[in-house]
C-alpha cells in the first residue's frame, strides 16, 4: 500500500468505497499528509489548538469532496486548494470581526501612504501605480513577502518559515526594506506626476 | 491606511489565476498555450508568485525547526480526534438523511403498499404480450465510467503497464497515451484489462513530464459501452 501513489490509493478506494480495505487506503492517504497540513495550519494560525481545528476541517472537507478529485493535478495540490480556500474563509470571518491591531511590520520606515498624489487616485489607479512602483523598486523576495503579508494575511514568522528565509530577522527585514524603498519610489513618482 | 492601500494593491485581481489553475500549472498539467499565458501573468504578478510560493511550501512539506515541536503536537492531537473517515460504511451522506422522520415513514409506508399491490397484480396477471418487431440483435448500451487503476499520479519510475477495471460486456478496449494537450503519443486495442507499454513508448516517459491516458470500451459490435476520464501520471524527477 505504501508503494502506491496518492492518486492510485484514491483509484483503488473508488473500486469498493464501502470496504474495510478502502478505509485503510484512505487512512494511509490522510496519514501521509498529516504533517504537511498540520505545519501549514500552524503557520497560518500561530496557535496549536486553532491549527488542529483547521487541519481537522481540511481533512473532513477533503473526505467529503473526494468524489470531485479528478487527478488532473496532484492530490497534494488538490489538498492545498482545499486548505487554501478554508483559510480564505477564515480570513473573511476575521475581517468581519472587530479589527485586531495589525502586526507591527513598519519598523523604522516613515508612512508613505499619506502622499497627496497617491490618495488623490481612485482605488483602481492606485492599485496599478503601487504595483508598478513595487515592480520597479523591490526585488523578487521583497515583493513576495509584501504580497504574503498584505494580501494573503500571513504573519511574519509564517512567511519566514514558508519561504525558508535564513536571514536573522526573517520576513521583517524584507518588509522594512521594501517599505523604505517604496516610500522613496512614491515620492519620486509624485514629484514627476 | 498603508495596510489598506497595500492590501488593495496586492490582493488577487480579476486577471489573477485562480488557485486550482495555478496548481495545475505548477504540476505541469496544462497545455502549452495555457502554460505560456499563465507564465506571462505570473512573471509580472507578485500576488500569484506568492500563491505559488505557498503552494510549493505546502507540497514540499517543509517544517521549520522552530515549528517542529508544535507540528508534532498537532499531528498527535489529530490522531486522538475522531477520523473524518466513517468506520463502518464510508458512504457519502445521501439526500434522504435530511428528510424528516415523519416524511420518511410516510414514504416507507407508501412503498410497502406499492409492493403489496404489485405482488397482487403479478400473481393475477398473465404473461405479457411482447411486440413481435423487437430488434433483438441491436446492442443496448449505457454510459459507464471505467476506473483507471494504474498508473495514476506521481510515479517513482516509468510505468511498464497500464491497468484498469474491466467492464462487463466489453469485448475490446482502446487505450491511448497522450500529451497534456491531448496529442496522442501511442494507442492500442486489446481485449484484456491491462496492457504492457512497449519500450518505444516508455522511452518517451521522461521525468517531470506529465502525460495522460484514457480507455474506451467497445461491445462486440463496436458500440462504445464505457469511457474513462483522462488520468494524469508523471515520473517524479
Interface of B with A in 78-107 (CB under 8 A): 78-79, 81, 83-85, 87, 89-92
Residue B186: pLDDT over 70: yes
How far is residue B212's CA from residue B184's CA, in Å, rounded to a whole number? 9
ipTM of the complex: 0.87
Residue B135: pLDDT over 50: no
How far is residue B47's CA from residue A6's CA, in Å, rounded to a whole number? 29
Q: What is the pLDDT of residue B78?
A: 94
DSSP A175-186: HHHHHHHHHHHH
B36 CB-near residues (< 8 Å, 6+ apart): none
In chain A, residues with a C-beta closer than 8 Å to the C-beta of B27 are 73-74, 77
**pLDDT band, very low/low/confident/very high, at B127 (cuts 50, 70, 90):** very low
Residue B105: pLDDT over 80: no
Q: What is the pLDDT of residue B137?
A: 39
On whether the CB atoms of residues B210 and B234 are closer than 8 A, the answer is yes
Q: What is the pLDDT of residue B8?
A: 86
Can you list the residues of chain A whose pLDDT is less than 70?
Answer: 1-2, 97-114
Q: What is the pLDDT of residue B164?
A: 92
Q: What is the pLDDT of residue B116?
A: 57
At B130, list the grid cell.
Answer: 411482447
Range among A40-49, B1-10, B104-113 rated most confident: A40-49
Does B157 lie at the interface with A, CB-CB under 8 angstroms?
no
The closest alpha carbon to B230, from B195, B181, B190, B194, belongs to B181
Q: What is the pLDDT of residue B130?
A: 40
Nearest to A113 among B1, B50, B66 (CB): B1
How far is residue A191's CA from residue A117's CA, in Å, rounded to a whole number? 9
Amino acid at each position: 500500500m505504501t508503494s502506491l501513489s496518492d492518486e492510485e490509493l484514491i483509484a483503488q478506494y473508488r473500486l469498493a468505497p464501502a470496504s474495510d480495505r478502502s478505509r485503510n487506503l484512505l487512512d494511509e492517504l490522510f496519514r501521509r499528509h498529516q504533517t504537511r497540513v498540520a505545519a501549514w495550519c500552524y503557520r497560518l494560525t500561530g496557535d496549536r489548538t486553532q491549527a488542529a481545528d483547521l487541519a481537522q476541517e481540511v481533512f473532513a472537507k477533503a473526505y467529503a469532496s473526494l468524489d470531485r478529485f479528478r487527478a488532473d493535478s496532484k492530490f497534494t495540490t488538490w489538498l492545498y486548494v482545499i486548505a487554501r480556500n478554508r483559510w480564505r474563509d477564515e480570513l473573511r470571518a476575521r475581517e468581519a470581526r472587530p479589527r485586531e491591531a495589525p502586526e507591527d511590520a513598519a519598523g523604522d520606515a516613515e508612512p508613505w501612504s499619506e502622499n497627496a498624489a497617491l490618495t488623490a487616485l481612485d482605488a483602481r489607479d492606485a492599485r496599478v501605480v503601487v504595483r508598478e512602483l513595487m515592480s520597479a523598486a523591490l526585488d523578487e523576495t521583497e515583493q513576495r513577502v509584501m504580497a504574503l503579508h498584505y494580501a494573503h494575511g500571513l504573519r511574519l514568522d509564517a512567511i519566514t518559515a514558508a519561504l525558508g528565509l535564513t536571514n536573522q530577522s526573517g520576513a521583517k527585514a524584507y518588509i522594512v526594506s521594501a517599505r523604505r524603498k517604496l516610500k522613496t519610489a512614491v515620492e519620486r513618482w509624485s514629484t514627476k506626476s | 491606511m498603508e495596510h489598506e492601500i497595500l492590501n488593495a494593491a496586492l490582493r488577487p485581481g480579476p486577471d489573477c489565476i485562480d488557485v486550482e489553475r495555478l496548481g495545475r500549472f505548477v504540476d505541469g498539467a496544462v497545455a502549452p498555450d495555457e502554460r505560456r499565458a499563465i507564465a506571462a501573468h505570473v512573471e509580472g504578478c507578485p500576488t500569484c508568485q506568492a500563491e505559488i510560493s505557498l503552494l510549493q511550501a505546502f507540497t514540499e512539506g517543509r517544517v521549520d525547526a522552530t515549528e517542529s515541536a508544535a507540528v508534532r503536537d498537532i499531528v498527535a492531537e489529530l490522531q486522538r480526534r475522531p477520523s473524518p473517515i466513517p468506520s463502518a460504511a464510508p458512504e457519502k451522506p445521501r439526500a434522504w438523511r435530511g428528510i424528516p422522520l415523519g416524511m420518511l415513514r410516510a414514504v416507507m409506508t407508501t412503498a410497502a403498499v406499492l409492493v403489496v399491490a404489485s405482488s397482487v397484480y403479478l400473481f393475477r396477471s398473465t404473461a405479457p404480450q411482447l411486440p413481435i418487431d423487437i430488434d433483438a440483435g441491436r446492442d443496448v448500451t449505457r454510459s459507464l465510467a471505467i476506473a483507471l487503476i494504474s498508473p495514476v499520479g506521481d510515479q517513482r519510475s516509468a510505468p511498464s503497464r497500464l491497468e484498469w477495471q474491466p467492464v462487463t460486456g466489453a469485448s475490446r478496449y482502446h487505450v491511448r497515451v497522450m500529451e497534456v494537450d491531448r496529442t496522442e503519443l501511442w494507442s492500442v486495442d486489446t481485449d484484456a484489462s491491462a496492457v504492457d507499454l512497449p519500450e518505444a513508448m516508455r522511452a518517451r516517459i521522461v521525468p517531470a513530464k506529465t502525460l495522460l491516458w484514457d480507455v474506451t470500451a467497445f461491445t462486440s459490435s463496436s458500440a462504445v459501452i464505457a469511457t474513462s476520464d483522462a488520468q494524469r501520471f508523471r515520473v517524479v524527477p
